[in-house]
Amino acid sequence: SYHAAIGNGMPGWYDEGRAHAWLPYSQMKTAAPPLPVVGTRGSRILLADGRELVDGVASWWTACHGYNHPHIRAAVAAQLDTMPHVMLGGLLHEPAARLATRLATLLPGDLDHVFFSDSGSVAVEVAMKMAVQSWINRGVRGRTRFVAFRGGYHGDTTGTMAVCDPDEGMHSLFRGLLPEHLIVDLPVDEARTEALDRLLAARADEIAGILVEPLVQGAGGMLFHDAEVLRTLRRLADRHDVLLIFDEIFVGFGRTGTLFACEAADVVPDIVTVGKALTGGTLPLAATVASRRVFGAFWSDDPMHALMHGPTYMGNPLACAAALASIDLFAREPRLDQVRAIETQLGAGLASCRGLPGVVDVRVRGAIGVVELDRIDIAALKARFVEQGVYIRPFGRIVYLTPALTIEADDLARLTDAIVAVLSEP
């Protein structure tokens, strides 16, 4: 029915392109054919046959201001006229300089040194290399492991797969390729805090840092934890002298109700990664931001103490211009108030899922709404959602919403109503 639903009005590029374009996380033989999209507007995805789907996931959590915000488009267009790209090798341009300054100002504490890259996975890889090399530069050898957490997701490159939850199906194939890190339970209670404390006491001399998604573990299962967990991690990292890295790629830029999740815990990590909503969902860009202490380990007369990393397109001027415009919008428009309104509406709109058969949990934090099921037929659910006029992508045993922070109340109601309706079906 998924296919039937898009049977008419197929554009010419579609069939030929389908034979060549290899899509992410898709069994190309059996997956429902991709929907032919011809445009985006606000919280809507426009299909070739004229239908508009209300987007429940904001293009993997990036399009925080909705699609095609005029302020971002104007900034990118102006930059396109001046300089679409120049490398950062030995050069510095105004958009990268301004964005580095802006991020250093916005992030708490002394998170002051900004290293750009072009995807979240690479920003996390850079954070890991930065942590490891900072120890080497300080004359400490052997600290090459990370403590990361069950339920975590940090990317799908080789380095980052190794710090994801190892039980996660999609990465388990590659286990033989991956270095071993220490993947443990989040210190959500006394017993787990003590276990982590003991682990760090025993093995700190091989540990470069602790890596965590603050407040919400996203792609690993949309699991929430309290701000207190982050304060515990800060305390343990300080006690055992290991670095604390927050991966804010999902939660950064308002998703949980503060601009950065670390603000809610009043904790300053040693390194933070941002990506996804950094450009308001327009261009690929990510950043790894280091504290003065971490940067200080690289500040040296020894050229071998330089950070040994440099993606070709790092700090692309178009992407930096988009990010600056996106950050403007957090100041100019009432985004965080909108998040609070979304949180309230998600809570009310998803509440009636609680009694439905198969529903294990319903949880909401900021602009994230989650319905956890005991089992799930992902393909069937996706198709039913499209039939309801909404774009929602369940994964694992999770149906979730992470809409644009600008979504209209009516559109948000369509999303929550569709979930209630589809999950109510026998």
Q: Any contact of residue 254 with ligand PLP (CB under 6 A)? A: no
139-158 residues in contact with ligand PLP (CB under 6 A) are 153-155
Residues with catalytic roles: 25, 153, 247, 276
Residue among 232 and 273 whose Cβ is closer to ligand PLP: 273
Give the C-alpha separation, 32 to 299, whole Å.
Answer: 52
Q: Which residues of 38-58 are buried (b: 16+ CB within 10 A; e: fewer)?
A: eebebbbbebbeeebbbbbbb
- Which amino acid appears at position 191 of this protein? A
Q: Which of residues 5-24 bind ligand PLP (CB under 6 A)?
A: none
Q: What are residue 391's DSSP bridge partners? A: 55
Kindly tell me which residue out of 43, 79, 117, 119 binds ligand PLP, with binding defined by CB under 6 A: 119
- Closest residue to ligand PLP: CB criterion: 120
The kind and range of the H/E element at 72 are helix 70-82
Residue 405 near residue 366 (C-beta atoms within 8 A): no
Query: For residues 195 and 200, what is the distance between their CA atoms, to the nearest angstrom?
Result: 9
Angle CA 292–293–298, to nearest 5? 90
Pick the stretch among 115-123, 185-193, 314-322, 384-392 that binds ligand PLP (CB under 6 A). 115-123
Residue type, 96: A
Asked if residue 310 belongs to a known ligand binding site, the reply is yes
Q: Does 125 bind ligand PLP (CB under 6 A)?
A: no
Selected range binding ligand PLP among 20-28, 193-201, 244-252, 357-365, rule: CB under 6 A:
244-252
Alpha-carbon distance values, 101 to 94, 96, 259, 276, 329 (Å): 10, 9, 16, 19, 17
CB of 218 to ligand PLP, least distance (A): 4
- Residue 247 interacts with ligand PLP (CB under 6 A): yes or no: yes
Contact positions with ligand PLP (CB under 6 A) in 324-383 = none
Q: Is 45 left (phi over 0), alpha (psi -120 to 50) or beta?
A: beta
Q: Work out whether 116 is an interface residue with ligand PLP (CB under 6 A).
A: no
214-139-136 Cα angle (round to 5): 45
Regarding 275 and contact with ligand PLP (CB under 6 A), the answer is yes
Nearer to ligand PLP, 95 or 252 (CB): 252
DSSP code of residue 259: S
120 is in an annotated binding site: yes
286-291: strand order across its sheet: 111-117, 286-291, 271-274, 243-247, 207-212, 145-149, 182-184
275 vs 317 by CB, closer to ligand PLP: 275
* Smaller CB separation from ligand PLP, 291 or 402: 402
Residues 218-237 that bind ligand PLP (CB under 6 A): 218-219
Return the residue of 243, 249, 297, 405 that touches ligand PLP, per CB under 6 A.
249
Nearest residue (CB) to ligand PLP, 187 versus 281: 281
Q: What is the largest CA-CA distance in the chain?
A: 69
Binding flag, residue 269, ligand PLP (CB under 6 A): no
Residue 273: partners with Cβ closer than 8 Å, 6 or more residues away: 120, 123, 124, 126, 127, 245, 246, 247, 248, 249, 286, 287, 288, 289
315 binds ligand PLP (CB under 6 A): no
Minimum separation from the CB atom of position 249 to ligand PLP (A): 4
Among 67, 115, 135, 250, binds ligand PLP (CB under 6 A): 250
276 is in an annotated binding site: yes
Binding to ligand PLP in span 175-214, by CB under 6 A? 213
Rounded Cα distance, 56 and 390, in Å: 7
Map tokens 């095609």 to a residue. 68
Q: Supply the minimum distance, in Å, between the C-beta of residue 83 and ligand PLP.
A: 24
Q: Which is nearer to ligand PLP, 6 or 127 (CB)?
A: 127
94 is written with which tokens? 């105004």
CB of 141 to ligand PLP, least distance (A): 28
Total residues contacting ligand PLP by CB under 6 A comes to: 14
Using CB under 6 A, list all residues that contact ligand PLP.
119-121, 124, 153-155, 213, 218-219, 247, 249-250, 275
